[in-house]
Homo-oligomer: A and B are copies of this chain.
Amino acid sequence: MIQTVKANTMRTRIITIGDEILIGQIIDTNAAWIAESVREAGGDLIGKATVGDENEAIRKAIIQGFEDAEVLLLTGGLGPTRDDITKKAIAEFYGVGFVFSQETHDHIAKLFERFGRPMMESHRAQCFMPQNAVLLTNKMGSAPGMWFEQDGKVLVSMPGVPFEMKYLMEKEVIPRLKQTFETHPIVYRTILTAGKGESQISEQLTDFEDTIPEGLKLAYLPSLGKVRLRLTAIRGNAEEQIQLLQQKGDELRALLGTDVFGEGLSSLEETLGALLIVKGLRMGTAESCTGGYIAHLMTLTPGASRYFEGSFITYSNRLKENMLGVSPDTLKKFGAVSAETVREMLNGLLENAGVDVGIAVSGIMGPDGGTPEKPVGTVWIAIGNRENPKVLQLSLGKDRSRNIEYTANKAINELRLFILELAS
């Protein structure tokens, strides 16, 4: 799947505003989302900056940003509380005053009526807008977006709440940017792998990398248990670029075989879900140490009920016996974290939930709870069906949330590979 996007004449900078983001109390998920959609809209993202809730810092970021960018996208600092000052900084930058927006007032009033709550004094202040602002209707919240255009340059200010910002970007900002700027196409292709590390894949691709022509760039984007490979065409006309990506991308997929689980933005769990639908199989999980995280991942995808039946989260040994029928002897002799226990957990799951395939996990996620024989990071996984269960062991580190994430990705990928083999 080759993704064609436009770029190069709409140089864009993102400015994220907020003490909470600057000092690290909130993770800036907005910037990544905006960057992706700017690129898709044909923008050339040249930088991102974060500043605190300070008039002077915001004004300076706007001035510096416009030095080399045509478009500045600001998020944050438009809420109803007193620490929000973005609007003032923008008005000062353009040297304009404020006007009362009846439209915004009516919108907020209607919003509050719908929720059966009274409109508050703090919301009235939100209705005063810089004189030169074009207001962008925000159906998801009370503060409208603002569009400023001067001397061929555009500044957009949006609320920091992610779903409000996303709504405004999709419905208002991106369509207006496309109207305002001319853009040229560039092309990339992202190939997704699971099960191998960055170095392993890099070594596997050494010869391939020597065959990559100058107009193509390969980037490795590793995460826990997964590596994304992004091929970007950086030269040539659109037709040549598409052809090059088609050819080299297909070569790369052929080299990596079933390590590749998809392309673009698809997720490992979506891929497993699609496979289950195709094969007409239903799945479930029996989780101890992952505590429901695998079930959570499998049900994040809309329509998961077509293949996901349910899970037994057996954190205690008692529930491993009662819910899954793990034998007390097994638990006593081999322990809860053992090949034998996960095998019996998988059996119990397949039987009691009536599913075709499943995942069972038990481990010591840390940071404490290890023994010399079974140190923190010891995890046992069983996947498969009644006829052909597969059991494997992981030796991970001491970071609890990292261990949970890695184990879930590993287990989901193993079940994917298992079902792929069923096919042949």
Contact = CB atoms under 8 A, between A and B. Distances in A.
A163 interface: yes
B302 A292 contact: no
Interface string A182-196: 000000001000000
A221 interface: yes
A311 B299 contact: no
Copies of chain A in the complex: 2
Contact of A199 (B31, B80, B228, B399): B80
Interface in A215-246: 217-223, 228, 230
A27 B140 CA distance: 23
A163 B53 CA distance: 29
A219 B310 contact: no
Contacts of A221: 20, 25-26
A145 interface: no
Interface string A367-392: 11000000000000000000000000
A402 B302 CA distance: 13
Q: Which 9 A-B pairs have the closest CB atoms?
A: A291-B299, A292-B292, A24-B35, A292-B295, A24-B36, A311-B313, A24-B32, A310-B319, A48-B50
A20 B219 contact: yes
A218 B20 CA distance: 12
A368 B305 contact: no
Contact of A202 (B80, B161, B304, B402): B80
A315 B310 contact: yes
A401 interface: yes
A299 B318 contact: no
A419 interface: no
Contact of A230 (B20, B48, B295, B352): B20
Contacts of A214: none
A270 interface: no
Given A300-B404, A309-B316, A39 B23 contact: yes
A247 to B, nearest CB: 20
Nearest to A291: B299
Contacts of A310: 312-316, 319, 323
Nearest to A161: B222
Given A83-B220, A310-B323, A291 B302 contact: no
